[in-house]
């Protein structure tokens, strides 16, 4: 008998035993709702924070402009023949918005992150990174075989300690953080990070995946809100969340862009992002800049939801924007709570290891500007006062 006849069954069994078994849900999206099976449920698991991905008026307007005169595929790597005006336009708009010299577009935020870190392979570069950073940042570090020093989440004292102890061992160094943390829902101390990066001669990287479009002048993110865009060397965003499209955007200097183009294997060896998606991304970027009313509505909804959840005794950690983790402390309880909400018409999956530590298992809620207070009331009534049940 070959090994794999039992291997996959064993793997599945172990995942189920650890409450870590995952399945792809068959989903149909309908505004702020999704349809799974025969049920229509409120979607509290969407990153389409401003409701742009399915905005039929914008889609119609956009498609009119491009009838028959755009390529659907990029046909090759950007460095072979995959460049197009739509990709260059998305880059120019992003750089201007973020107020950096230039930008580079990749097929996704995941690609952007792995491209940046992996580009430093074999250059004696180490990385100081917040423990809560996204998997794509870690995967980039692994792909580049870079030495990694992780500091406890948002702990600037520990970052300083690590810099003092290890910085001098390496020729080059990077400090990397998310701006708004995707699982914890709290924000980074970008000012402190940029100062430490200067003091210890490091490149600073901030991933604005969840904050782009949500805050800052014209939605330009937390780094711009704190006026640190010139102090941070690389600012990353994804087109797949508030921008309602897809793609990974890297804002940086011309020198860094040239370095990435020449050194990033995910850029060199993968087909460039589709021109129609890049064009849609440019279109939604322009819309997002003007969506101040939606940003204000979103903010008042997230403040209200968090306040009410806290009053009911739920632990929402240090979250302070539209991502609200309801921390259950165990994957079993997270699954229980998620199921309870599901039975009450609310979709919000349990977040468990390996995405987060077991003790940080949670039901993660994402508020979008498509929601109304009545939706929040539905959540609050469904979740009840008692924290957890067995
Ligand atoms: C912080 C962060 N960076 C990068 C990504 C990856 O972006 P994309 O979904 O465009 O690949 C995500 C996605 O969840 C994320 O949360």
Which atom belonging to ligand 1 lies closest to the Cα atom of 178? 1
Summarised one tens digit per residue, pLDDT across range 164-223 is 999 999 999 999 999 999 999 999 999 999 999 999 999 999 999 999 999 999 999 999
CATH fold of the domain at 18-50+292-383: 3.90.1150
Q: Percent of the chain, pLDDT > 70? A: 98
**d(CA 110, ligand 1 centre) in Å:** 6
Residue 235 near residue 112, CB atoms below 8 Å: no
C-beta of 178 in contact with ligand 1 (< 6 A): yes
For residue 150, count other CB atoms closer than 10 A to its CB: 17
Give me the helix-helix angle, 135-143 and 109-118, nearest 10°: 30
Regions in the chain scoring below 70 on pLDDT: 386-390
> One fold for both 18-50+292-383 and 60-289?
no
Would you kindly state where each structural domain of the chain is located, as residue ranges?
18-50+292-383, 60-289
Q: How far is CA 205 from CA 193, 202, 234, 235, 277, in A?
A: 9, 10, 5, 6, 25
Best CA proximity match to 383, nearest among 356, 343, 350, 324 = 343
Nearest residue (by CA) to ligand 1, atom 5, is 109
CA 332 from centre of chain: 25
- Average confidence score pLDDT of the chain: 95
- pLDDT for the residue numbered 390: 45
CATH architecture of 60-289: 3-Layer(aba) Sandwich (3.40)
Q: Answer whether the bond into residue 354 is a cis peptide, omega within 30°.
A: yes
Which atom belonging to ligand 1 lies closest to the Cα atom of 111? 11
**d(CA 86, ligand 1 centre) in Å:** 22
- pLDDT for the residue numbered 19: 79
Which atom belonging to ligand 1 lies closest to the Cα atom of 181? 1
Query: What are the helix (H) ranges across the chain?
Result: 3-17, 56-66, 85-98, 109-118, 135-143, 156-166, 190-199, 222-225, 254-263, 265-268, 275-289, 292-311, 331-343, 373-383
Residue 30 near residue 36, CB atoms below 8 Å: no
C-beta of 107 in contact with ligand 1 (< 6 A): no
């Amino acid at each position: 008998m070959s090994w794999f006849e039992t291997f996959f069954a064993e793997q599945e069994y172990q995942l189920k035993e650890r409450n870590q078994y995952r399945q792809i849900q068959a989903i149909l999206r309908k505004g702020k709702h999704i349809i799974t099976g025969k049920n229509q449920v409120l979607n509290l698991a969407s990153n389409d924070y401003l409701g742009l991905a399915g905005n039929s008026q914008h889609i119609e307007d956009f498609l009119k402009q491009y009838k028959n005169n755009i390529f659907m595929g990029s046909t090759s790597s950007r460095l072979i023949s995959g460049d197009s005006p739509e990709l260059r336009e998305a880059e120019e708009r992003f750089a201007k918005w973020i107020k950096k010299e230039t930008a580079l577009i990749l097929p996704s935020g995941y690609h952007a992150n792995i491209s940046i870190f992996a580009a430093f392979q074999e250059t004696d570069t180490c990385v100081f990174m917040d423990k809560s950073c996204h998997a794509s940042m870690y995967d980039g570090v692994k792909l580049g075989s870079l030495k990694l020093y992780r500091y406890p989440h948002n702990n600037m004292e520990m970052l300083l300690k690590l810099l003092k102890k290890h910085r001098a061992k390496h020729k080059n160094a990077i400090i990397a953080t998310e701006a708004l943390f995707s699982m914890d829902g709290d924000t980074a101390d970008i000012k402190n990070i940029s100062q430490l990066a200067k003091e210890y001669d490091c490149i600073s990287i901030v991933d604005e995946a969840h904050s782009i479009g949500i805050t800052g002048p014209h939605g330009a993110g937390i780094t711009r809100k704190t006026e640190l865009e010139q102090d941070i060397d690389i600012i990353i965003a994804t087109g797949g969340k508030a921008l309602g499209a897809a793609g990974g955007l890297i804002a940086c200097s011309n020198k860094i862009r040239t370095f990435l183009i020449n050194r990033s294997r995910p850029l060199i060896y993968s087909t460039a992002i589709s021109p129609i998606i890049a064009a849609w991304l440019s279109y939604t970027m322009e819309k997002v800049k003007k969506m101040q009313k939606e940003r204000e509505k979103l903010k008042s909804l997230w403040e209200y939801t968090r306040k009410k959840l806290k009053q009911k005794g739920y632990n929402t950690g240090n979250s302070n924007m539209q991502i609200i983790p309801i921390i259950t402390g165990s994957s079993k309880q997270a699954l229980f709570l998620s199921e309870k909400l599901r039975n009450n018409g609310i979709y919000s999956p349990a977040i468990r290891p390996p995405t987060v530590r077991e003790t940080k298992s949670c039901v993660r809620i994402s508020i979008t500007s498509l929601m109304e207070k009545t939706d929040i009331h539905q959540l609050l009534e469904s979740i009840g006062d008692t924290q957890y049940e067995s």
